[in-house]
Chain A
Amino acid sequence: GENVEQHPSTLSVQEGDSAVIKCTYSDSASNYFPWYKQELGKRPQLIIDIRSNVGEKKDQRIAVTLNKTAKHFSLHITETQPEDSAVYFCAASDELTGGGNKLTFGTGTQLKVEL
């Protein structure tokens, strides 16, 4: 089965700096890679996703890059703000075969943006 590793487990940055979180996956059949943000005591919410037919996707201050050959993908947050503080989870799935889109998650990165 799929295995997703995520680094770092904690990340502290100064407001306005960039933050980068990296994930690797093991199953070459995986083709869908979402990122979820989970604030303390709240539900995970999708912030961006990428499919294997593209190498990069950007949405305002958030971008995700994918390297299929190396089987890794990264989340980039620029101009960080205090409200970006949360736990971020990467995930991977093979959404085109089998039934459904069951996600395999990384173990999360606690991002803290300091004033």
Chain B
Amino acid sequence: GAGVSQSPSNKVTEKGKDVELRCDPISGHTALYWYRQSLGQGLEFLIYFQGNSAPDKSGLPSDRFSAERTGGSVSTLTIQRTQQEDSAVYLCASSLSGRRETQYFGPGTRLLVL
């Protein structure tokens, strides 16, 4: 079946602009995660959604970052007033449920803030 998909694959924006990144999880997966991968670094947890529960936002680096998940499926990560330090690859992952399940990653969105 189809894996996790993300769009756009690449995004170049100017400092101060807002951007929206989209994630389509694997069908039937109730858990969805966003991670950020900066150049030469590991993946950094941002936010987690599980079903209809309140999201775990503990990894969001500032209030410029927000995410929502509509209808328990597609998720959008929004970064307001982008800064150059926001430049990174943003990866989405989904799993069948929130516990004891493998996380499958999407291809990522490469964001460059000029």
- Contact in complex: B99, A96 (CB < 8 Å): yes
Q: Is B42 an interface residue (CB 8 A)?
A: yes
**Size bracket of the B interface:** 20 to 34
Q: In chain B, what residue has the closest Cβ to A108?
A: B42
- How far is it, in angstroms, between the C-alpha of A61 and the C-alpha of B106 when the chains are bound? 26
Count chain B CB atoms within 10 A of each CB in A34, A101, A103 and give the residue with the most.
Answer: A101
A interface residues, tally (CB under 8 Å): 26
- Contact in complex: B42, A43 (CB < 8 Å): no
Distance to closest chain B CB from A50 (angstroms) = 13
- Contact in complex: A102, B45 (CB < 8 Å): yes
- How far is it, in angstroms, between the C-alpha of A46 and the C-alpha of B95 when the chains are bound? 12
Contact with A along B43-66 (1 / 0, CB 8 A): 111001010010010110000000
- Contact in complex: A95, B100 (CB < 8 Å): yes
Q: In chain B, what residue has the closest Cβ to A4?
A: B42
Q: Using a CB–CB distance below 8 Å, which chain A residues touch chain B?
A: 4, 6, 32, 34, 36, 42-46, 49, 89, 91, 95-96, 98-108
Sample of 18 more A-B contacts, CB < 8 Å, known A44-B105, A46-B102, A107-B42: A32-B100, A43-B91, A43-B106, A43-B107, A46-B103, A49-B102, A91-B43, A95-B99, A96-B99, A98-B56, A99-B53, A100-B31, A100-B98, A100-B99, A102-B56, A103-B35, A105-B42, A108-B42
